[in-house]
Amino acid sequence: MAEETLTITDNRTGLRYEVRIRDGAIAATDLQKIVSDGPGSGLLSYDPAFLNTASCRSAITFIDGERSILRYRGYPVEELAERSTFLEVAYLLIHGELPDPTQHRVWVDAITHHTLLHENIKKLIDGFHHDAHPMGILVGTVGALSTFYPDAKDIFNVESRRLQILRLIAKMPTLAAFAARHAIGMPYAYPDNDLSYAGNFLNMMWKATELKYEPNPVLERALDVLLILHADHEQNLSTNVMRAVGSSHADPFSATAAAAAALYGPLHGGANEQVLRMLKEVGSVSRVPDYVKRVRAGEMRLMGFGHRIYKNYDPRAEIIKKVADDVLAVTGRSPLLDIALELERVALADDYFIKHRLYPNVDFYSGIIYSAIGFPVEMFPVLFAIGRAPGWLAQWQEGLLDPEQKIARPRQVYTGPAERHLPAVRQPAVAR
Ligand code: ACO
Rounded Cα distance between 334 and 328, Å, is 7
Confidence of residue 430 (pLDDT cuts 50, 70, 90): confident
Tell me, using a 6 A CB cutoff, whether residue 380 lines ligand 1. Answer: no
Q: How far is CA 293 from the centre of its chain?
A: 30
Tell me, using a 6 A CB cutoff, whether residue 267 lines ligand 1. Answer: yes
pLDDT value at position 410? 96
In the chain, count H helices and then E strands: 17, 6
Tell me, using a 6 A CB cutoff, whether residue 301 lines ligand 1. Answer: yes
Tell me, using a 6 A CB cutoff, whether residue 356 lines ligand 1. Answer: yes
pLDDT, averaged across the chain = 94
Residue type, 208: A
Tell me, using a 6 A CB cutoff, whether residue 12 lines ligand 1. Answer: no
Confidence of residue 8 (pLDDT cuts 50, 70, 90): very high
pLDDT in tens, 381-413: 999 999 999 999 999 999 999 999 999 999 999
312: part of which helix (H) or strand (E)?
none
How much is the average pLDDT of 301-330? Answer: 88
pLDDT value at position 363? 84
Candidate from 233, 308, 346, 354 with most ligand 1 atoms within 8 A of CB, to mutate = 308
Q: For residue 318, which of 88, 147, 78, 145 has the smallest C-alpha distance?
A: 78
CA of 120 to the centre of ligand 1 (A): 41
Tell me, using a 6 A CB cutoff, whether residue 272 lines ligand 1. Answer: no
Please give the torsion angle defined by the CA atoms of residues 169, 103, 106 and 214, in that order, rounded to the nearest 10 degrees. 70
Alpha carbon nearest to ligand 1 atom 1, residue: 301
Rounded Cα distance between 34 and 27, Å, is 13
Report the catalytic residues.
Answer: 268, 307, 363
Listed range (45-59, 228-242, 348-362) with the worst mean pLDDT: 348-362
Alpha carbon nearest to ligand 1 atom 41, residue: 303
Q: For residue 366, which of 279, 248, 259 has the smallest C-alpha distance?
A: 279
pLDDT in tens, 88-113: 999 999 999 999 999 999 999 999 99
Tell me, using a 6 A CB cutoff, whether residue 303 lines ligand 1. Answer: yes
pLDDT value at position 333? 80
DSSP 238: H
Alpha carbon nearest to ligand 1 atom 35, residue: 307
Alpha carbon nearest to ligand 1 atom 21, residue: 356
* Atom of ligand 1 minimally distant from the CA of 236: 50
- Domains and their CATH numbers in the chain: 5-46 (no CATH), 56-405 (1.10.580.10)
Rounded Cα distance between 360 and 381, Å, is 17
Rounded Cα distance between 191 and 113, Å, is 9
pLDDT value at position 1? 60
Burial class, 98, CB count within 10 angstroms (exposed 0-12 / middle 13-18 / buried 19+):
middle
- pLDDT over 70 percentage in the chain: 99
CA of 314 to the centre of ligand 1 (A): 13
Rounded Cα distance between 233 and 328, Å, is 27
pLDDT value at position 3? 82
Q: Which residues contact 284 (CB under 8 A, 6 or more apart)?
A: 335, 339
Alpha carbon nearest to ligand 1 atom 22, residue: 356
pLDDT in tens, 283-302: 999 999 999 999 999 999 99
- Report whether pLDDT(203) > 80: yes
- Report whether pLDDT(426) > 90: no
Rounded Cα distance between 174 and 180, Å, is 10
